[in-house]
Structure 1
Amino acid sequence: MGSIFSTSSTVLFSIETGLNSSWDMDDEYEKFVRRMNPPRVVIDNEACKSATVIRVDSANKHGILLEVVQVLTDLNLIITKAYISSDGGWFMDVFNVTDREGNKLKDECLLEYISKSLGADSSYVPSMRRSVGVEQSTNHTSIELTGTDRPGLLSEVCAVLTCLKCNVVNGEVWTHNTRAAAVMLVTDEETGAAITDPERLSKIKEMLCNVLKGNNKTREAKTVVSLGVTHTERRLHQMMFADRDYERSDSDTLDEKLRPNVTVVNWHDKDYSVVTIRCKDRPKLLFDTVCTLTDMQYVVFHANVDAEGAEAYQEYYIRHIDGSPVNSEAERQRVIQCLEAAIERRVSEGLKLELCTTDRVGLLSDVTRIFRENSLSVTRAEVMTRAGKAINTFYVRDAAGNPVDAKTIDSIREAIGQTILQVRGCFESPKSQAQESPTRFLFGGLFKSRSLYNFGLVRSYS
């Protein structure tokens, strides 16, 4: 029987135990520069009728724009307008922001937190080393997975973790262009703490590698153990970018009208490349595009962002970190493809379901089993645990990629619990269904995929 597993898979592990090594000389120099030129943050609720205006001035360095945007998006703020200028050794960013309800920011504690996070007392460091707003922790082990999307992949991963007495407490899963990436934070079932035993970690790696590669011997899965912290969404972008999810095959039939409008032209008089993006607006869009430009080693010198209407407009004046603009057609196409992918990764297909209940080991596997028994697949998922409560979000379609009918959802809610599972959004008409996504298979085929027993996966780790 042919393998149903990924031909290209990666497993990364990191035990988040805090950083005990000293910073190198570059870090010390940056700290010195920061002390001599501390950032200045001004928050103004009077300058604009509809938004709070946040202005940040600071010494310039590569990646600082991403760090500022990341602080704001991590607070679930909506950036409606932005102006960026960073020529020379200084930068100035101006953002118009609101809360998720479209209101100005009035909470004094929130305003003070923003000032401290972005100002002279902030502790963020270059984003290529660490991520903004993430604290070191000994409370969980971080598992990163990338590979080819296929039916039942995440379900089998969760089954292995449950078998090894690991509890998934937080995580996020993205799928795009037949690729899948996940960051999962797990704890020991008995102690509720991070898993640090080398033998047990080795067993987890071995078994997850078996799940990812299956019987395919042409490419082995990779495993890495490292110390550090994880910013989930930043890592997902980096993982999928490294996995080249932006490459489209000739068989990709996605309607061109559904793709973001991305153009790249050179402004020869000033030696800039001008990137223009037009697409449907959504939260965290600015973070997604700035994250990709930063990871591709481009510097944003100027930018204008307008997201006050249904369509977002972004204009970036960029150069490569070596000082050159985009200098070939191949490079231009790669920038366009990577930005399209960055925007599309977070687009959620399907009906949104929210689950809130008491957390327990194996909950994720049980819930997705019920989805599969009712012929649903999940296109994206967010898993969160707070104070003993599991707060999970799923975007679902039927097994063929079509909208879900109300009767199916009623059956699922009856099985899980009417008050536990809530429907957010409206049911789609079959006539308005979107193009079938090539990434819809992550949770599909929960039990149609090959049994774990065939690979010797359901056994004690000891």
Structure 2
Amino acid sequence: MGPYFDPDFDGQLERIPPPRVCVDNDTCEDCTLVKVDSANRHGILLEMVQVLTDLDLIISKSYISSDVGWLMDVFHVTDQLGNKIIDKALIQYIEQSLDARKKEKGEVITCLGNMVGSGLLASKYTVLEVTATDEPGLLSEIAAVLTELHRYKIISCRAWTHNSHVAIIMYLVDEATGKPILDPDSLAHIEEQVEVVLGAHFGEEERKRRRRRVKVSGPLAEGRVHTERRLHQLMHEDRDYEAGPPPVQVELGGQFGTRAALIQARKGWLSSLSLNSPLQSPSAAMQAQVSIDRWIDRGYSVVNVRSMDRPKLLFDTVCTLTDMQYVVFHAAVSSHGLLAIQEYYIRHKDDNTILDKEAERQRVTRCLVAAIERRVSHGLRVVVSTRNRRGLLAEVTRILRESGLSLTRAECALRGESAIGTFFVTDASSTGGGEVDPKRVEAALRDEMNGGIQLDVSNTHPRWPPIKMINHGNVQPVVAKGRSSIGFFTDSSSSSTSSDQEDERPRFSLGSLLWSHIERFSSNFGSIRS
């Protein structure tokens, strides 16, 4: 059984009532509402979020509630330019993708020009997975070994680094036939050659500490996990979340906590832009904060998450909770320009319990912070576009390595006859990831690759949130006396709660706001059911 088999995959999906989906462009002026009414099962919320994020859509707000085996969700979405979703093909794709019974969903092009669809499933390819201690040049050497074997073609590659850990996923085909590699001897040979590369870097002691892993598997029909979800899983299995000091807790202080967080977010974001620093993206300027409380009366653990907003943030947090076997019963997520606020009401899947033990609360907190940080972009951003040719990934990463650079994140894929890669690099000689001269990097790539290449080398990161979202007034939340208009925090009186009472209920209250949101959008599903 390959490493991508999803243990939660249920082969009897036909017995589950299909979701009822409504894509609503009439209710809100500045966003599209995607309403989903579905039978509840573990992982279905993640599947919904995955569909929307794969389409490069931005979820600016979401309300989620489940009751007696039924799940109701509302997602406020736009494209990454802040526009509503009006493309009929895209709307149809969303509706079909959220229905698990429909196998063929066609293909669509997202607002960023990415192709998404059933014909592009990763399960059709051979996959190579690597986890190890992060070392400069590691991806370059792995790509070079595969090129030297003269038999295999890299279709796509993604690499994440975090806390001195690296996770790499490559999709491969037979270079001669363009088909997946099925021969067990060939799969074993690939695995052996990559092990040699890691062995040269780390030696036997690293292997004994289980800080390196190589796995090659053939294509799978059903149940292969989404690539980015698998990257999270690989990092989690390698315990990247254990390093570093304890995460900062959310300061649940109503108006003051929210205002302080927004000021911190704005200062960090503006600072990263004004300094023109390649060391961090805007989302790295504010440290993620997580707090977990108990609501004993309702039987929930209440998870609050605050961080800089960015694309795919909701996916990363829901993915982590799902893979840690926690069920989200209710949730409220809101984006306020620079600041994202998430609140989840969860129980453990197996025994329906809350997080009673401090050690487990600390582990979940660390895992959520790690999930948010893994995708944060550190370093100089290098986008390479050129006609595809054999050994291209090995060539580009070799040039970066020989230029004294270390990769912090990479994403490469083929688009027809072209290859496009995005690399984030820092100075390999600096322990803190020193600044890199973009002109030097661009000159090295142009000189070595002999023309025919398009480059975008920049030490500034894409502006977030989009200008259109800022113009809609989402940056500054309206704060009422004693309570944030976001509606998911305590009023100022909650600060006087005794420590004994804090063990009985969370330091904030769902109050009437979240429940009223849920009741309101629940009543709107009548038109979907009919």
Task: Output the TM-score relative to the length of structure 1.
Answer: 0.79
Contact 1:292 1:338 in 2 (8 A): yes
Cα displacement string for residues 78-99 of structure 1 (whole angstroms, at most 9, x for unaligned residues): 0000000012211100000001
Partner amino acid, structure 1, of 2:23: I
Corresponding residue for residue 268 of structure 2: none
Cα displacement string for residues 241-274 of structure 1 (whole angstroms, at most 9, x for unaligned residues): 111110115799x999843011111112211111
Corresponding residue for residue 14 of structure 2: 31
Query: 1:121 offset after TM fit, Å?
Result: 4.9
Corresponding residue for residue 167 of structure 2: 181
With over 3 angstroms needed to count, the CA separation of the structure-2 counterparts of 1:370 and 1:425, relative to structure 1, is same
Corresponding residue for residue 337 of structure 1: 366
Corresponding residue for residue 135 of structure 2: 150
SS at match of 2:203: coil
| CA distance in 1: counterparts of 2:334 and 2:120, whole angstroms | 32
SS at match of 1:368: helix
Q: Are 1:240 and 2:269 matched, yes or no?
A: no
Cα displacement string for residues 214-264 of structure 1 (whole angstroms, at most 9, x for unaligned residues): 372343656464652352101101111111110115799x99984301111
| CA distance in 2: counterparts of 1:251 and 1:51, whole angstroms | 37
Partner amino acid, structure 1, of 2:204: K
Find the partner of 2:302 among 274, 277, 301: 274
| CA distance in 2: counterparts of 1:25 and 1:257, whole angstroms | 38
Partner amino acid, structure 1, of 2:243: R
Query: 1:421 offset after TM fit, Å?
Result: 1.3
With over 3 angstroms needed to count, the CA separation of the structure-2 counterparts of 1:51 and 1:178, relative to structure 1, is same
Query: 1:374 offset after TM fit, Å?
Result: 2.5
Query: 1:163 offset after TM fit, Å?
Result: 1.3
Higher helix proportion (structure 1 or 2): 2
Cα displacement string for residues 166-198 of structure 1 (whole angstroms, at most 9, x for unaligned residues): 221201000111111011011222222222222
Of 165-174 and 196-205, the range deviating more from structure 2: 196-205
| CA distance in 2: counterparts of 1:152 and 1:251, whole angstroms | 30
| CA distance in 2: counterparts of 1:353 and 1:279, whole angstroms | 25
Corresponding residue for residue 192 of structure 2: 206
Cα displacement string for residues 288-319 of structure 1 (whole angstroms, at most 9, x for unaligned residues): 00000000000101100011411100000111
With over 3 angstroms needed to count, the CA separation of the structure-2 counterparts of 1:26 and 1:392, relative to structure 1, is closer
Corresponding residue for residue 444 of structure 1: none
Corresponding residue for residue 92 of structure 2: 112
Query: 1:40 offset after TM fit, Å?
Result: 0.7
With over 3 angstroms needed to count, the CA separation of the structure-2 counterparts of 1:202 and 1:135, relative to structure 1, is same
| CA distance in 2: counterparts of 1:419 and 1:245, whole angstroms | 36
Q: Are 1:100 and 2:132 matched, yes or no?
A: no
Corresponding residue for residue 422 of structure 1: 456
Query: 1:372 offset after TM fit, Å?
Result: 2.5
SS at match of 1:109: helix
Find the partner of 1:350 among 368, 372, 379: 379
Q: Are 1:65 and 2:45 matched, yes or no?
A: yes
Contact 1:45 1:53 in 2 (8 A): yes
With over 3 angstroms needed to count, the CA separation of the structure-2 counterparts of 1:414 and 1:257, relative to structure 1, is closer
Corresponding residue for residue 90 of structure 1: 70
Structure with the larger RCO, 1 or 2 (CA within 8 Å, 6+ apart):
1
Partner amino acid, structure 2, of 1:198: P
Cα displacement string for residues 81-126 of structure 1 (whole angstroms, at most 9, x for unaligned residues): 00000122111000000011110001011011111111475449xx
With over 3 angstroms needed to count, the CA separation of the structure-2 counterparts of 1:14 and 1:196, relative to structure 1, is farther
Q: Are 1:216 and 2:245 matched, yes or no?
A: no
Corresponding residue for residue 226 of structure 2: 231
Of 295-304 and 352-361, the range deviating more from structure 2: 352-361
| CA distance in 1: counterparts of 2:179 and 2:216, whole angstroms | 20
With over 3 angstroms needed to count, the CA separation of the structure-2 counterparts of 1:26 and 1:97, relative to structure 1, is closer
Show the 5 A alignment for 1:290-439: 290-321=318-349, 322-399=351-428, 400=430, 401-415=433-447, 416=449, 417=451, 420-424=454-458, 426=460
Partner amino acid, structure 2, of 1:305: V
Of 408-417 and 95-104, the range deviating more from structure 2: 408-417
Contact 2:191 2:214 in 1 (8 A): no
With over 3 angstroms needed to count, the CA separation of the structure-2 counterparts of 1:293 and 1:312, relative to structure 1, is same
SS at match of 1:190: coil
| CA distance in 1: counterparts of 2:422 and 2:88, whole angstroms | 30
| CA distance in 1: counterparts of 2:246 and 2:94, whole angstroms | 46
Contact 2:127 2:218 in 1 (8 A): no
Partner amino acid, structure 2, of 1:212: L
Structure 1 unmatched ranges of 5 or more: 1-11, 125-131, 429-462
Find the partner of 1:74 among 44, 54, 58: 54
Corresponding residue for residue 6 of structure 1: none
Corresponding pairs, count = 400
With over 3 angstroms needed to count, the CA separation of the structure-2 counterparts of 1:25 and 1:335, relative to structure 1, is closer
CA RMSD, Structure 1 to Structure 2 (Å): 3.1
Contact 2:194 2:214 in 1 (8 A): no
Contact 1:139 1:192 in 2 (8 A): no
Partner amino acid, structure 2, of 1:140: Y
With over 3 angstroms needed to count, the CA separation of the structure-2 counterparts of 1:307 and 1:192, relative to structure 1, is same
With over 3 angstroms needed to count, the CA separation of the structure-2 counterparts of 1:120 and 1:178, relative to structure 1, is closer
SS at match of 1:266: strand
With over 3 angstroms needed to count, the CA separation of the structure-2 counterparts of 1:164 and 1:203, relative to structure 1, is same
| CA distance in 2: counterparts of 1:264 and 1:138, whole angstroms | 36
With over 3 angstroms needed to count, the CA separation of the structure-2 counterparts of 1:26 and 1:385, relative to structure 1, is closer
With over 3 angstroms needed to count, the CA separation of the structure-2 counterparts of 1:250 and 1:343, relative to structure 1, is closer
With over 3 angstroms needed to count, the CA separation of the structure-2 counterparts of 1:52 and 1:142, relative to structure 1, is same
| CA distance in 1: counterparts of 2:246 and 2:291, whole angstroms | 23
SS at match of 1:307: strand
Of 201-210 and 211-220, the range deviating more from structure 2: 211-220
| CA distance in 1: counterparts of 2:118 and 2:339, whole angstroms | 29
SS at match of 1:217: helix
Corresponding residue for residue 148 of structure 2: 163
Query: 1:137 offset after TM fit, Å?
Result: 6.8
Query: 1:211 offset after TM fit, Å?
Result: 1.8
Contact 1:183 1:236 in 2 (8 A): yes
Partner amino acid, structure 1, of 2:62: A
| CA distance in 1: counterparts of 2:121 and 2:383, whole angstroms | 29
Structure 2 unmatched ranges of 5 or more: 105-116, 248-278, 463-530
Percent identical pairs in the alignment equals 50
Contact 1:84 1:302 in 2 (8 A): yes
Contact 1:377 1:398 in 2 (8 A): yes
